[in-house]
Amino acid sequence: MSVHRGRVIAVLCFLASLATGPRALAQAPVTGPLILHVPASARTAALGNAWVAGRDTDVIFHNPAQLIGQRQGVDLSVTRLGPASTMTSIGSVFAAGKWSLTFGWGAQILGFNADAALSHPYSPDLLQARGSRSGSDALVVAGAAIVLKGFRIGVAGKYVSELASPSASTLLPVRANHQMVLADVGVARDMFGGTAALAFQNLGRHSHDNGGYLPLPRQVALGWSTVEQAGPFDLGLFTQVAARKDWVSPAAGLEVGYSWIDGYNVTFRLGGRRTETNAERPIAMGAALRADRLTVEYAVRFFDGGHTANGVTVRWR
């Protein structure tokens, strides 16, 4: 059996275990802002958000070390996260020169509505509900990476904001208003026929601003990915384990691409992860179509009660 075929089978077995095994034993501790829990694009969502060793512009939101070698261009994503929740994301990468210096930036805006009886901070499954308490999140990130003795090393700074209207469950309702500056630090290196990567994400102080206490999802993520040829198909495997206080989440994704003419390609994706809430199903899927310089991607995540979160990403290079 070839090496790449063995890797594909291993990932498929992992995804099958997530789909057929018992649901998560417990939900992740509630942390925020919500925008830090949402996959950055359709591709990352379809691949279980296992993107610490990922590719494309989306890495600016996961591991700045992976900025090096990514194609230059602009990506735009729109995700319908629920009946009253939508997120828009944009990002770009460009190379600068010495030491393979590469810069990247990204921005996201999330709008949602919550049940007025719920208190802040919110669990990510709130995005599947309707409510009378409006909220909005914003994330702006800029980063850079260099190559040093074979290692790709990157750092990114983040500005994050979360606003939510007063809760009816408090005696003295106040508008939650959290603004913070965070950092990501990452390292990556080619090894074992792929890319191994490590990132420390959402580094910063927990917020005690107006609206109460907001604990951050500070975490460390370790992963490995590879892209290989298997006859007429392009295979991509992505794996990750993310750990934060009182929570560990394994994830993996598989994509299979087929090109029938130069510059045109269709790709199918399947991913799985240990989700942060019991309301979300562990399996996600998606597809992409590339036509010359334009790529359009789609992903769907599943939730209890027949709910879904649908995302579309447009990439131009």
The predicted pLDDT at position 150 comes to 94
The predicted pLDDT at position 146 comes to 97
Residue 130: count of CB within 10 angstroms of its CB: 12
The predicted pLDDT at position 226 comes to 97
Q: From 295, 64, 39, 223, select the one nearest 158 (Cα to Cα).
A: 64
User: Looking at residue 264, which CATH number applies to its domain?
Assistant: 2.40.160.60
0.85 surpassed by pTM: yes
Residue 143: count of CB within 10 angstroms of its CB: 27
Helical (H) or strand (E) element with 158? strand 151-164
Per-residue pLDDT of the chain (317 residues), as tens digits, is 455 555 555 555 555 555 454 444 578 999 989 999 999 999 999 999 999 999 899 999 999 999 999 988 899 999 999 988 999 999 999 998 889 999 999 999 999 988 777 777 888 988 988 887 788 999 999 999 999 999 999 999 999 999 887 655 544 455 678 899 999 999 999 999 999 999 999 999 988 766 578 899 999 999 999 999 988 999 999 999 999 999 999 999 999 999 988 889 999 999 999 999 999 999 999 999 999 989 999 999 999 989 999 999 999 87
User: How far apart, in whole angstroms, are the C-alpha atoms of residue 134 and residue 120?
Assistant: 12
Geometric angle at alpha carbon 100, from 69 and 238, rounded to 5°: 30
- Which tokens belong to 19? 């789909």
User: How far apart, in whole angstroms, are the C-alpha atoms of residue 32 and residue 178?
Assistant: 10
- Which tokens belong to 72? 């230059």
Can you list the alpha helix ranges (DSSP code H) found in the chain? 3-20, 42-46
- Which tokens belong to 137? 């999140």
Q: Write down the residue that tokens 């209890």 correspond to.
A: 304
The predicted pLDDT at position 275 comes to 95
User: How far apart, in whole angstroms, are the C-alpha atoms of residue 315 and residue 295?
Assistant: 5
Using CA of residue 59, residue 61, residue 63, residue 65, what is the dihedral sign?
Answer: positive
The predicted pLDDT at position 167 comes to 57
User: How far apart, in whole angstroms, are the C-alpha atoms of residue 91 and residue 297?
Assistant: 15
Structural domains in the chain (count): 1
- Which tokens belong to 186? 């990452």
pLDDT tens for residues 215-258?
999 999 999 999 999 889 999 999 999 999 999 999 999 999 99
User: How far apart, in whole angstroms, are the C-alpha atoms of residue 165 and residue 213?
Assistant: 15
- Which tokens belong to 71? 């194609």
Structural domain span for residue 126? 3-316
Whether the CB-CB separation of 298 and 286 falls below 8 Å is answered with yes
